[in-house]
């Protein structure tokens, strides 16, 4: 049997080796420093080796462990450069690469999902995987009618491995926290647990993708590949390929990065109104820029269901912060459960806390970059900062958690792109009430 390592003990041992391995290398580095080694050079070597180990372990385990790594990759822009630089390349690899499963496992899964005669559905099937994801891998093929298709096959044992990983990662969150300063690990893992349960049945993903594809059919900015066939553990979509967003981040000219960032922002802010859903996995591995200039978006296993569009209190909150109306903002926060019961939070502190998050909407264009995001993470994460104490008085109601995480993840990718984005116009087009005072009373009581 050559599927994902399933036994909890084996997976736990691999995951546990991460913080212990980092600690061991730190001790070795300290010993070398005592005998005259260069401190900065040794630290750089330690972090580079930790990054290699992180990629090797999370990539081999796939499942929830790899998904956790992908989630971290979105937020790496918020991590100080001295910590993030060695991890950046390894985390980018996790977005699109993992060790492949053997051909015999692929054939067995396809036979289980589409029947023993599954090969008759294809004119050709490439045995070498074209891409890998957290719980499945993708093969290029020719459908029986001549269409070029992508065949996504779930790893055997993915469900069991996923649950094991997330339980163990949750237990280890305190040990792993030093690896990623400025990011709260435990809530991220808890939220991932909920989302990943939804991703195990590809029929749900296929239905989500069909809805997105219909909504963006013929769109001049976004391309969603059409679904051809689906089963619980396998899925066939039309084959579309372009330049990976991770490549644009790494080597793109400024114009390329600006265009890609504007397309990503447009997709994120338009989807709730156009589709009633929000694509909830905004890491760079899920985006490509096509030759015709459109943004191609894949992986619809995790979505936020927003049948009424973006929750109005969120956008009204942004508008009141933009307009510097502290008393009305605090009342809105209290009415909608954003302030802890009995909290003495002052209205002006709430405005100050939210001000940097509304900063990109004050001007026609805004330059997103790593340093800006790092400042926000430092501001709300520094125990000595007044904003840290304000943050402790605030509460994020469960119904807004996913929308908040996806929005912050999208902003993180914009910062990785180091791009100038006309965000005010994009947001104003899809959420006009943010800039329209006449909508205040309507939004105030929703």
Q: pLDDT of 130-157, one tens digit each? A: 987 667 889 999 999 999 999 999 888 7
Angle between helices 8-34 and 63-75 (to 10 degrees): 50
Whether the pLDDT of residue 396 is over 80: the answer is no
Res 82: pLDDT: 53
Is the Cα dihedral 249, 252, 254, 258 positive or negative? Answer: negative
Angle at 48 between CA 43 and CA 54, to 5 degrees: 125
Res 108: pLDDT: 94
Rounded Cα gap, residues 320 and 437, in angstroms: 9
Contacts with 212 (C-beta within 8 Å, 6 or more apart), sequence order: 224, 271, 275, 277, 279, 297, 300
Pairing of strands 222-223, 148-154: unpaired
Q: Any idea of the CA torsion for 288, 414, 207, 105, to the nearest 10 degrees?
A: 60
Contact between residue 257 and residue 417 where contact means Cβ atoms under 8 Å apart:
yes
Whether the pLDDT of residue 445 is over 90: the answer is no
Please state the rounded mean pLDDT for residues 9-20: 49
Contact between residue 334 and residue 397 where contact means Cβ atoms under 8 Å apart:
no
Distances (CA, A) of 28 to 22, 41, 195: 10, 13, 39
Res 135: pLDDT: 75
Rounded Cα gap, residues 281 and 300, in angstroms: 8
Q: How far apart are the first and last CA of the chain?
A: 54
Angle between helices 347-358 and 312-322 (to 10 degrees): 100
Residue given tokens 């546990």 in the structure block: 16
Res 131: pLDDT: 82
Please state the rounded mean pLDDT for residues 227-247: 96
Within 10 Å of residue 131's Cβ, how many Cβ atoms? Answer: 20
Which burial class, exposed, middle or buried, applies to 431 when counting CB atoms under 10 A from its CB (0-12, 13-18, 19+)?
A: buried
pLDDT averaged over every residue in the chain: 77
Mean pLDDT lowest among 46-55, 212-221, 398-407: 46-55
Of residues 97 and 228, more confidently modeled:
228
Distances (CA, A) of 404 to 113, 212, 305, 315, 442: 35, 20, 13, 12, 22
The percent of residues in the chain predicted with pLDDT above 90, rounded, is 40
Q: Phi/psi at 129 (nearest 5 deg)?
A: -65, 140
Mean pLDDT lowest among 11-20, 134-143, 402-411: 11-20
SS3 39: helix
Res 243: pLDDT: 97
Q: Phi/psi at 445 (nearest 5 deg)?
A: -105, 5
Whether the pLDDT of residue 59 is over 80: the answer is no
Within 10 Å of residue 410's Cβ, how many Cβ atoms? Answer: 20
Which ranges of 276-335 would DSSP assign to H, the alpha helix? 312-322, 326-335
Contact between residue 275 and residue 305 where contact means Cβ atoms under 8 Å apart:
no
Rounded Cα gap, residues 236 and 229, in angstroms: 5
């Amino acid at each position: 049997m050559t599927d994902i390592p399933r036994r909890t003990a084996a997976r736990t041992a691999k995951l546990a080796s991460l913080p212990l391995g980092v600690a061991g290398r730190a001790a070795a580095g300290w010993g070398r420093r005592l005998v005259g080694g260069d401190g900065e050079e040794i630290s750089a070597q330690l972090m580079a080796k930790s990054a290699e180990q992180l990629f090797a372990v999370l990539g081999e385990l796939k499942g929830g462990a790899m998904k956790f790594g992908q989630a971290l990759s979105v937020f790496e822009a918020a991590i100080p450069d001295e910590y993030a630089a060695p991890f950046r390349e390894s985390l980018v690899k996790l977005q699109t690469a993992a060790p492949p499963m053997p051909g015999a496992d692929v054939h067995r899964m396809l036979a289980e999902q589409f029947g023993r005669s599954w090969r008759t559905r294809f004119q050709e099937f490439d045995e070498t995987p074209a891409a890998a994801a957290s719980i499945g891998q993708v093969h290029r093929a020719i459908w029986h009618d001549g269409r070029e298709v992508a065949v996504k096959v779930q790893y055997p044992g993915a469900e069991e491995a996923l649950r094991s990983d997330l339980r163990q990662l949750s237990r280890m969150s305190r040990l792993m926290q030093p690896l990623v300063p400025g990011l709260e690990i435990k809530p991220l893992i808890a939220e991932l647990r909920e989302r990943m349960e939804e991703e195990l049945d590809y029929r749900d993903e296929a239905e989500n993708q069909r809805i997105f594809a219909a909504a963006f059919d013929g769109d001049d900015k976004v391309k969603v590949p059409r679904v051809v066939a689906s089963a619980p553990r396998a899925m066939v979509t039309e084959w579309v390929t372009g330049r990976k967003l991770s490549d644009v981040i790494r080597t793109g000219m400024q114009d390329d990065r600006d265009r890609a960032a504007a397309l990503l922002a447009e997709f994120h802010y338009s989807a709730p109104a156009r589709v009633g859903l929000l694509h909830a996995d905004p890491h760079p591995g899920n985006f490509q820029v096509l030759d015709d200039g459109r943004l191609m978006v894949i992986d619809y296993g995790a979505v936020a269901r927003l049948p009424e569009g973006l929750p109005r209190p969120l956008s009204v909150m942004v508008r009141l912060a933009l307009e510097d109306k502290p008393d009305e903002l605090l009342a809105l926060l209290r009415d909608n459960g954003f302030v802890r019961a009995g909290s003495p939070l002052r209205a002006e502190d709430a405005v100050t806390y939210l001000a940097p998050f509304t900063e990109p909407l004050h001007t026609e264009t805004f330059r997103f970059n790593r340093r800006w995001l790092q400042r926000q993470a430092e501001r709300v994460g520094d125990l000595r900062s007044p904003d840290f104490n304000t943050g402790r008085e605030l509460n994020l109601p469960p119904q807004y958690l996913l929308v908040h995480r996806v929005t912050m993840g999208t902003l993180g990718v914009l910062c990785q792109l180091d791009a100038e984005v006309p965000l005010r116009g994009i947001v104003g087009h899809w959420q006009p009430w943010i800039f329209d005072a006449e909508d205040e009373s309507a939004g105030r009581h929703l």
